[in-house]
Amino acid sequence: MYDSKIASFAKYVPENIVKNDDLSKIVETSDEWIFSRTGIKERRISISENTSQMCANAGKLAVERAGLSPSDINLIIVATMSSDFSTPSSACMVQKIIGAKNAAAFDIGAACSGFIFALSAADKFIKTGAFENVLVAGGETLSKMLDWSDRSTCVLFGDGAGACVLTRGNIGGGIIAEDLHSDGEKADALTSFFKPVNNAFCENLDEKLKYVKMDGREIFNFATRKVPLSINTVLQKANLSFDDIKYIVPHQANSRIVEIIARKLKLPMEKFFMNMDKYGNTSAASIPIALSEMVEQKLINEKDKIIVSGFGGGLTWGSAVIQI
């Protein structure tokens, strides 16, 4: 058995900034409603780059920051719900763009929890000795999945990608503990890009089923119920207390969700990192974008322990204690 080590983080977000006031010109909404209900002020909306290109941009930088070259990467895992194609996978596209010619590559679909699930898979591949250097990316072009006439969803999401490199390391680092769950019974609470049976013998179905459709309240209640339990579970599994944890990095969906989680865990808000004000909800990209930004801002340093916690469509949720 080996252990894994997190060698680097990186992020890439498209240049185009869309502010809340820009959205109030498209749908009946306001900066006041969006900010007070979600904590979001602006988001990046891609004009040209698709998911694989953004993952490749973040991934290339993560590989460089790990002191490796693309040919050193043995496995690429991309977490996304907005892949460029159904096939090839975004991971294979990343392989092509960055020239990681020695890697195996595949995608993971666990919506906004995707990065945690991908990190967990990468960790196992390293721990079993199957692979040594794994590039994990979470990337989304959610803007292409949105109904831009539906104010209840189009104001929430943004585009971007984050990545990290996991390598073989010393016992005790990397992913210290994890807790992953799904509840397919609640699959209807968040769906996107339904691909119906469609052939010459079928009648046409409702085009709107393509777009992100969400029962916001249901997801809100599920997140505030399950995430505190999951955070407590990983903390116990790691045999640590909150004093040992530098930051909790939750999925960046809604600042009110984070406030309720903090209250339930009896922790101050300063323990939680939030940047949804700048990027909105970027689904699988939100946690690696946050971690990359925290490293860039020197908020976290080598040996710091962090809890990451994601939740979203599936339903899926999960947390991990990681060491930088």
User: Where on the chain is the footprint of ligand UT7 (CB under 6 A)?
Assistant: 29, 33-34, 37-38, 112, 151-152, 155, 190, 214, 216-217, 219-220, 223, 253-254, 281, 283, 312
Q: Which of 20, 154, 164, 251 is catalytic?
A: 251
Phi and psi at 119, nearest 5°, equal -60, -40
Select 152 or 232, whichever has its Cβ closest to ligand UT7.
152
Q: How far from chain centre, in Å, is Cα 63? A: 19
Closest distance to ligand UT7 from the beta carbon of 10 (Å): 22
Active site (annotated) includes residue 57: no
Q: What is the DSSP string of 183-246?
A: -GGGGGGEE-------STTSPPPPGGGGS-EE-HHHHHHHHHHHHHHHHHHHHHHTT--GGG-S
- Tokens standing for 147? 């109904």
C-alpha distance from residue 171 to each of 39, 126, 162, 323 (Å): 39, 12, 26, 11
Q: Which residue's beta carbon is nearest to the bound ligand UT7?
A: 216
Select 29 or 90, whichever has its Cβ closest to ligand UT7.
29
Closest distance to ligand UT7 from the beta carbon of 205 (Å): 24
Closest distance to ligand UT7 from the beta carbon of 235 (Å): 22
- Tokens standing for 322? 């990681």
Select 59 or 313, whichever has its Cβ closest to ligand UT7.
313
Q: Of 192, 207, 208, 107, whose CA–CA distance to 156 is shortest?
A: 192
Closest distance to ligand UT7 from the beta carbon of 310 (Å): 8
Active site (annotated) includes residue 221: no
Identify whether the C-beta of residue 272 lies closer than 8 Å to the C-beta of residue 294.
no
Select 38 or 57, whichever has its Cβ closest to ligand UT7.
38
Active site (annotated) includes residue 281: yes
Q: Which of 92, 112, 154, 164 is catalytic?
A: 112
Catalytic residue annotation: 112, 251, 281
